[in-house]
Structure 1
């Protein structure tokens, strides 16, 4: 299983618009992705309810995990997205 850590860069954290953009990117991946914070139970990263329940704020570190063909590349792409201030992206 591939795993990556990402620091949330969006000023409002992983809420509203940033969460929507992240979920859109997760749904384009060839593998299922989970997300967790502070060692909590991994949640489905393609679910808005899961993302909102994380309560990930600016500067929080989350863990993404996936397995299967394409997992490494998928996680690299998603980490890069989370480490971008998605509030500033037009």
Structure 2
């Protein structure tokens, strides 16, 4: 399973605007991405409500992943890895757009 570690750089964590920017980026990948804290249960990163209720605060270490069996026929493992790297960059951007 492709997985990517990232840190939440937004000053207020993944709340409101920063969470919306992240969820929009996840949705644009078209992939079933999950996000979790170390030792935590993964939540659907395409769901604004689930992301916001997990309380991913500033500096929080998170793990993004995609289940290979959840990819569609046109999505590749390599594409999933690239998407996770791009999504980690969104999380690590200091300011939400």
TM-score, scaled relative to structure 1: 0.91
For the aligned residue pairs, the C-alpha RMSD in angstroms reads 1.1
In structure 2, C-alpha distance between the alignment counterparts of 1:6 and 1:39, rounded to whole Å? 15
Unpaired segments of 5 or more residues in structure 1?
A: none
Q: What's the counterpart of residue 28 of structure 1? A: 28
Q: Name whichever structure is richer in helix by fraction.
A: 2
How many pairs does the alignment contain?
88
Structure 1 residues 8-87: aligned runs within 5 Å: 8-66=8-66, 67=68, 68=71, 69=76, 70-87=79-96
Unpaired segments of 5 or more residues in structure 2?
A: none
CA displacement at 1:39 relative to structure 2: 1.5
Based on CA coordinates, which of the two structures has the bigger radius of gyration? 2
TM-score, scaled relative to structure 2: 0.85
In structure 2, C-alpha distance between the alignment counterparts of 1:56 and 1:43, rounded to whole Å? 11
